[in-house]
């Protein structure tokens, strides 16, 4: 399970949600590194969200294996409604009350016209179960988004969705999940060793800053 490469909006700290944005130059390089890292993995299928940033990432990966990308609509990113395209400073200025409420209760409060994390979980998990059921004893790649990946990972880990803000999903990160008779488990989480040298190595360097701030409670003085 993979998060798409960096986009220009990721680098600017803009909330993307369902809006389409293209990979940045860094994102393109991340995607090439990703494809190289998984070149020897015997992938039988590559699934993707329909949004361009995920499709562009998945297409490079699929081409390396001679596969076509299978689009799953349920894998698209969380809808952020009226906030899409804004920076968090712009959201804080225009929607301070809704932002404060969402930070207090991200499971149940959504931007106007958007989704909660519970909404994402409800549409994503059935799609994942269908993909898994269709590939017994096979390895597949699923390219999606930060919120989508977190919802899946927390479910497999048996962790509450309230742990959402404490989990990272960097651009072009690889997660490895396995299903067998004992059930699902996470083997690798947010692996980014294949991206060394592409971004400065400091905390939060490649995680979308806007997404992180949308769910992280801020100190009262902010």
Q: What residues are annotated to the active site?
A: 4, 77
H or E element at residue 91: helix 88-94
How far apart CA 103 and CA 21 sit, in angstroms, is 25
Cβ neighbours of residue 48 closer than 8 Å, sequence gap 6 or more: 54, 55, 57, 58, 69, 70, 71, 72, 75, 142, 143, 144
Q: Is 85 buried (19+), middle (13-18) or exposed (0-12) by CB count in 10 A?
A: middle
- Concatenate the DSSP letters of all residues of 103-130 into one string: HH-TTT---TT---HHHHHHHHHHHHHH
Confirm if 107 and 147 have CB atoms less than 8 A apart.
Answer: no
Cβ neighbours of residue 18 closer than 8 Å, sequence gap 6 or more: 51, 76, 77, 79, 80, 84
């Amino acid at each position: 399970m993979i998060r798409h490469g960096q986009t220009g909006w990721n680098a600017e700290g803009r909330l993307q949600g369902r809006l389409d944005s293209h990979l940045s130059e860094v994102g393109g390089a991340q995607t090439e590194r990703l494809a190289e890292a998984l070149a020897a993995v015997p992938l039988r299928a590559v699934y993707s969200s329909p949004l361009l940033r995920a499709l562009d990432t998945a297409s490079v990966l699929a081409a390396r294996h001679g596969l076509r990308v299978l689009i799953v609509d349920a894998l698209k990113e969380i809808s952020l409604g009226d906030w899409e395209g804004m920076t968090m400073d712009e959201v804080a200025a225009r929607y301070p009350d809704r932002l404060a409420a969402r930070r207090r209760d991200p499971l149940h409060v959504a931007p106007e016209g958007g989704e909660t994390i519970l909404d994402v979980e409800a549409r994503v998990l059935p799609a994942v179960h269908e993909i898994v059921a269709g590939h017994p004893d096979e390895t597949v790649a699923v390219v999606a988004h930060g919120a989508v990946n977190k919802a899946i990972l927390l479910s497999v880990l048996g962790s509450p969705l309230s742990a959402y803000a404490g989990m990272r999903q960097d651009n072009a990160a690889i997660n490895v999940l396995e299903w067998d008779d004992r059930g699902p488990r996470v083997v690798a989480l947010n692996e980014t060793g294949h991206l060394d040298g592409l971004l400065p190595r400091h905390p939060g360097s490649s995680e979308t800053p806007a997404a992180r701030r949308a769910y992280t409670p801020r100190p009262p003085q902010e």
